[in-house]
Chain A
Amino acid sequence: MMDAHPSGMFRHALATRLWHWANAVVVIVMLMSGATISNAHRFLYWGQKGAMPEEAWLRVPRWPGWMTLPSHYDLSSAREWHLAFAWVLAFGLGAYLAASLVNGHVQRDLTLGRAGSHYHTLQKLVYCGLLFGMVPLLIGTGLALSPGMNAAWPWLLDLFGGRQSARTIHFLLAGGMAAFLVGHVALVLVSGPAKLLRGMLWGGEGGQ
């Protein structure tokens, strides 16, 4: 929820602020542990299978230590981080969507073509794309990499066109998430980080 403050500052609802800062940690952990997992096999494929370089459509660069978690190559640790924080991402998304429907954030601020929102159309498109597109698809394609879940829910894998397609889509979405993160931080830095940070930390009330 965002109310216009007399000073022009926004007030973010508690759910928005909690989700935002949880995600600041979760997304960075997921991207960095994901970079380690990517280093384990740097080839991407389409379809059900793919194991050899000649089957690949893309050879991914080896991500340097400052981009990976842990900073040295350690696949089992990276998997543990990635799979633990995946639960936070999934439950966080569910809880945030539920809270935002209840407090009216989705209806007021994210519905396209509706007056009274505090977001531009482009902002709405980006945030809706993340909330209803990218994050659910990241979770879905990640779950589709589970051989156990493939047996339980074969339709999930069919949705993405096979395990190696799901892995490719998962990787491309992660790239999109990294691009969003860079763009988001850059936009905050150029449009008054102090005010925006206050708004996201305390809901804007402690400001001015």
Chain B
Amino acid sequence: MIITRRTALIGASTLLAGCDRLNESASFRSLTAQAERANFTIQRSLQDRMALAREFAPEQRSRVFRANGTRLPQGEDYARHAVEKFANWRLKVDGLVARPLSLSMAELRAMPARTQITRHDCVEGWSAIGQWTGAPLKLLLDAAGLKPTARFLVFHCADTMRSGVPYYESIDLIDALHPQTILAWGLNGALLDVAHGAPVRLRVERQLGYKHAKYVERIEAVSDLASVYGGKGGYWEDSTGYEWYAGI
């Protein structure tokens, strides 16, 4: 058996081209996408619903908390809100709820708050530790009264992405009702700054970074995600094929 450099190179490039073709194949990708379903099912069955993400000591916080994604939402509306220090920002809770809410930031900050020092894990691989303060999402949902048909919460954001569509994300009720899932308005003892999602962002501590929607304007309770924007449950899910649950 003689393997020349030439045949090895031809073999290797055929293999590479084959992988790229498989990568573009819808049927093959629907197979690999099953792995996320498996991750979801198995992780959820191993996890206690209330299992908390680790909380750290103040001295373990990152010296600089890296900001990622949108760092400054474009448009006059957001710029005006920033100048007004978000005095006229409203956070709406609507959709499949009995009593839709529209809260000012003062009202949100007056609600019972939870403070937690947690690790933020970006899908790219880095981690930063910061102290977040905010109202548990469960308190807002209890106040609004979720209808029995509600299964997901969609977070509509004020930042518009490259393709002109607004950022959005969604979570299911297990994550929504988790005690560490908060609408954070404070980071490291100060009011949340623009780069990290001012005036309010989601913290959903058992998920990767892109699930933690920033610049949240509206929380919509829905029965399924298919009719929301591209139907896959989030901006990155719709546009680039990131997983809705991911899990790792």
Contact = CB atoms under 8 A, between A and B. Distances in A.
A51 B127 contact: yes
Contacts of A145: 121, 248
**Interface of A (DSSP majority class):** helix
A208 interface: no
Interface in A1-56: 29, 32, 37-38, 40-41, 43, 45, 48-52
A145 to B, nearest CB: 5
Contacts of B19: 29, 32, 69-71
A37 B248 CA distance: 12
Chain A: number of interface residues, binned into ranges: 35 or more
B29 A80 contact: yes
A147 B206 contact: yes
B64 interface: yes
Interface stretch (A82-90, A106-114, A122-130, A199-207): A82-90
B241 A49 contact: no
A148 B64 contact: no
Contacts of A157: 54
Taking each of B31, B56, B125, which has the highest tally of chain A beta carbons within 10 Å of its own beta carbon?
A: B125
A76 B241 contact: yes
A164 B125 CA distance: 8
Interface string B120-156: 0111111111000000000000000000000000000
B23 A69 contact: yes
B32 interface: yes
B1 A193 contact: yes
Contacts of A71: 16, 19-20
A194 B3 CA distance: 11
Contacts of B207: 147-148
A189 interface: yes
B38 interface: yes
Interface string B1-22: 1010000000011001001100
Interface string B29-40: 101111110110
A75 interface: yes
B1 A84 contact: no
B244 to A, nearest CB: 12
A152 interface: yes
A146 interface: yes
Nearest to A152: B47
20 contacts: A40-B123, A41-B124, A43-B126, A49-B129, A50-B127, A80-B32, A80-B243, A83-B36, A84-B31, A84-B34, A87-B38, A145-B248, A147-B208, A148-B247, A149-B247, A150-B206, A151-B51, A151-B54, A152-B48, A189-B3
Q: Which 5 A-B pairs have the closest CB atoms?
A: A84-B35, A84-B32, A51-B126, A41-B125, A51-B66
Interface of A: 29, 32, 37-38, 40-41, 43, 45, 48-52, 66, 69-71, 74-77, 79-81, 83-84, 86-87, 142-143, 145-154, 157, 163-164, 167, 189, 193-194, 197
Interface of B: 1, 3, 12-13, 16, 19-20, 23, 29, 31-36, 38-39, 43, 46-48, 51-54, 56, 60, 62, 64-66, 119, 121-129, 205-208, 236, 240-243, 246-248
Given A32-B19, A41-B126, A80-B35, 18 more contacts: A40-B123, A40-B125, A51-B64, A51-B127, A75-B123, A77-B23, A80-B29, A83-B39, A83-B247, A84-B31, A146-B248, A147-B53, A147-B205, A147-B206, A148-B207, A149-B46, A152-B51, A153-B46
